[in-house]
């Protein structure tokens, strides 16, 4: 490659809360290569969310924090954030502005277009085109995203299913403008976790040798549908499933509601335990036997990737990019119909059948270890950037 200076990338993320976007922004900022100069900008977590700045510290990434960039639309704070992003662009003069998730995508792409940035990219880490809002609000968001897509040089979908949703189902962008690049994570600690930590974690959690530990990991918000999960737990208790203990890992707006339901379920004995956020998920997962997901809408479920990396069987509702993440009946179970009874029946089989759990755990690392590793993400993004840079005549 013939360049006289480094390629400048301005990376903008919604907010630094625990989840896939923070990890991917950190890895792309840190590991993209010496030929790139990257500035990472993002907002702060909202109330009830744990911040993920410790992830950036771990990889020695120093971001610019924009307290004005909040999750909910707000004319005054959004205007301030937009102005600050434009000022950063004017000073830094990036070749590429790459935004991650909705708010960053809205403000960052508008600012980049106003400043005539050569390449404007956006990664959909998920979308809000169903199960989030009512019909009118959803239509407004779709209209906004279509306009933003028209200003974008390219759109990155994190799974083939997401590309299908963006192009064919919701008509946000034309297919030829969308590049599928899966998320990437540091998965080695999860693969090594069971050997290192299983006995210690189970002892700390008070788990007996014959108890089956089942966990669900994610923000405590309506879209993750923890009510569905707790419905399943209640059904399992009615089915006389006694040897399982259930863990909810996360925090968010639904915390109080979930705690009230847990009080009722735990009235005779503790069956469900709320763990809030766990920073060392590789260590925690080592003590688990099954990881669940019950979302109504999902981009690429990080918790299921991490579980499979640790050779832990998973079970999930059939939403979004789940089918691109799990090998159904090989690394886990995808419950095709959204019925608690059907989910409970499948989870009951996993809890009661150790041999089946063992069989489903054997292929997890082989399935996700390379496909969803951060080195694969970096390689794919680097190739995509350079292809676009050549098309624009910025590099040869």
Q: Name the DSSP class of 46.
A: P
pLDDT at 18: 75
Write out the residue limits of the CATH 3.40.50.2000 domain(s) in the chain.
7-185+373-391, 188-368
What's the pLDDT tens digit per position in 259-285? 999 999 999 999 999 998 898 999 999
Low-confidence ranges of the chain (pLDDT < 50): 1-3
Q: Is 180 exposed, middle or buried (0-12, 13-18, 19+ CB in 10 A)?
A: middle
Residue 358 CB partners (closer than 8 Å, separation 6+):
none
Residue 262 near residue 234 (C-beta atoms within 8 A): no
d(CA 156, CA 159): 9
pLDDT at 48: 63
What's the pLDDT tens digit per position in 88-112? 999 999 999 999 988 999 999 999 9
What's the pLDDT tens digit per position in 162-209? 999 999 999 999 999 999 999 999 999 999 999 999 999 999 999 999
pLDDT at 75: 87
Q: Is the dihedral of CA 54, 59, 62, 64 positive or negative?
A: negative
Task: Return the CATH class of domain 188-368.
Answer: alpha beta
pLDDT at 21: 86
Burial letters 36-49, b for 16+ CB under 10 A, else e: bebbbbbbbbeeeb
CATH architecture of 7-185+373-391: 3-Layer(aba) Sandwich (3.40)
pLDDT at 72: 77
pLDDT at 112: 98
pLDDT at 134: 82
pTM for the structure as a whole:
0.92
């Amino acid at each position: 490659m013939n360049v006289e200076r480094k390629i400048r990338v301005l990376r903008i993320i919604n907010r630094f809360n625990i989840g896939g976007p923070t990890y991917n922004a950190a890895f792309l900022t840190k590991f993209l290569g010496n030929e790139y100069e990257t500035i990472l900008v993002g907002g702060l977590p909202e109330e009830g969310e744990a911040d993920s700045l410790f992830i950036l510290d771990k990889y020695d990434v120093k971001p610019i924090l924009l307290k004005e960039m909040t999750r909910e639309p707000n004319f005054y704070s959004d205007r301030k954030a937009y102005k600050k992003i434009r000022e950063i662009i004017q000073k830094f003069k990036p070749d590429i502005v790459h935004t991650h998730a909705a708010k960053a995508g809205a403000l960052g792409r508008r600012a980049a277009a106003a400043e005539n940035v050569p390449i404007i990219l956006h990664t959909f880490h998920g979308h809000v085109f169903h199960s989030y809002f009512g019909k009118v609000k959803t239509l407004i968001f779709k209209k906004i995203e279509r306009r933003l897509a028209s200003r974008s040089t390219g759109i990155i979908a994190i799974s083939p299913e997401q590309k299908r949703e963006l192009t064919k189902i919701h008509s946000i962008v034309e297919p030829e403008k969308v590049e599928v690049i899966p998320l990437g994570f540091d998965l080695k600690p999860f693969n090594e976790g069971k050997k290192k930590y299983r006995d210690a974690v189970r002892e700390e959690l008070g788990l007996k040798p014959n108890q089956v530990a089942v966990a669900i990991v994610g923000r405590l918000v309506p879209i993750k549908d923890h009510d569905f999960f707790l419905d399943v737990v209640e059904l399992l208790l009615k089915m006389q499933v006694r040897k399982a203990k259930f863990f909810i890992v996360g925090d968010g707006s639904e915390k109080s509601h979930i705690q009230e339901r847990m009080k009722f379920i735990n009235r005779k004995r503790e069956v469900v335990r709320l763990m809030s956020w766990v920073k060392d998920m590789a260590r925690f997962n080592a003590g688990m036997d099954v990881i669940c997901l019950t979302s109504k809408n999902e981009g690429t479920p990080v918790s299921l990737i991490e579980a499979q990396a640790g050779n832990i069987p998973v079970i999930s509702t059939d939403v979004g990019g789940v089918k691109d993440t799990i090998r159904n009946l090989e690394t886990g179970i995808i419950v095709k119909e959204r019925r608690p009874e059907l989910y409970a029946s499948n989870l009951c089989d996993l809890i009661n059948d150790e041999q089946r759990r063992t069989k489903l755990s054997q292929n997890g690392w082989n399935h996700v270890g390379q496909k969803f590793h951060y080195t694969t993400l970096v390689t794919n993004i680097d190739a995509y950037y350079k292809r676009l840079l050549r098309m624009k005549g910025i590099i040869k």
